[in-house]
Amino acid sequence: MLTEKTILVTGGTGSLGKVLVRRLLKNELGVPRKIIIFSRDEAKQHEMRMSYMNKQAATDEIIFRNFQRVLDFRIGDVRDFHSVAEALRGVDVVFNAAALKQVPTCEYFPYQAVMTNIGGPENIVRAIQELNLPVETVVGVSTDKACKPVNVMGMTKSLQERIFIQANMRCPETRFICVRYGNVLASRGSVIPLFHDQIRNGGPVTITTSDMTRFLLSLDQAVDTIFAAYKGAKRGETYIPRVPSARVTDIAAALIGDSPVKMVVTGIRPGEKLHEILISEEECHRAVDREKYYAILPMLPELLEDQEFTPALKNEYSSADNVMSPEEVVKMLHQYQLMLNDNPQEDGELLR
- The DSSP 8-state label assigned to residue 288 in this structure reads E
Q: Annotated active-site positions, please?
A: 145
Among the listed residues 99, 98, 54, 90, the one whose alpha carbon sits nearest the alpha carbon of residue 72: 90
Q: Would the CA dihedral through 325, 331, 335, 337 be positive or negative? A: positive
Q: Would the CA dihedral through 74, 125, 290, 347 be positive or negative? A: positive
Q: Could you list the pLDDT tens digit for every one of the 352 residues in the chain?
A: 999 999 999 999 998 999 999 999 999 999 999 999 999 999 999 999 988 887 655 456 778 777 888 999 999 999 999 999 999 999 999 999 999 988 889 999 999 999 999 999 999 999 999 999 999 999 999 999 999 999 999 999 999 999 999 999 999 999 999 999 988 876 666 678 788 889 999 989 999 899 999 998 889 999 999 999 999 999 999 999 999 999 999 999 999 988 899 999 998 877 778 999 999 999 999 999 999 999 999 999 999 877 788 999 999 999 999 899 999 999 888 877 766 655 544 554 444 4
Query: Does an H or E element contain 37, and which?
Result: strand 34-39
Contact 303, 168 (CB under 8 A): yes
Amino acid, single-letter form, for residue 262? K
Amino acid, single-letter form, for residue 268? I
Specify the pTM.
Answer: 0.91
Structural domains in the chain, sorted by start:
6-182+217-242+277-317 (3.40.50.720)
Contact 61, 24 (CB under 8 A): no
In angstroms, rounded to a whole number, what is the distance separating the alpha carbons of residues 175 and 155? 23
Cβ-proximal residues to 262 (8 Å cutoff; 6+ apart), any chain: 203, 204, 205
Cβ-proximal residues to 338 (8 Å cutoff; 6+ apart), any chain: none
In sequence order, the β-bridge partners of residue 34 are 6
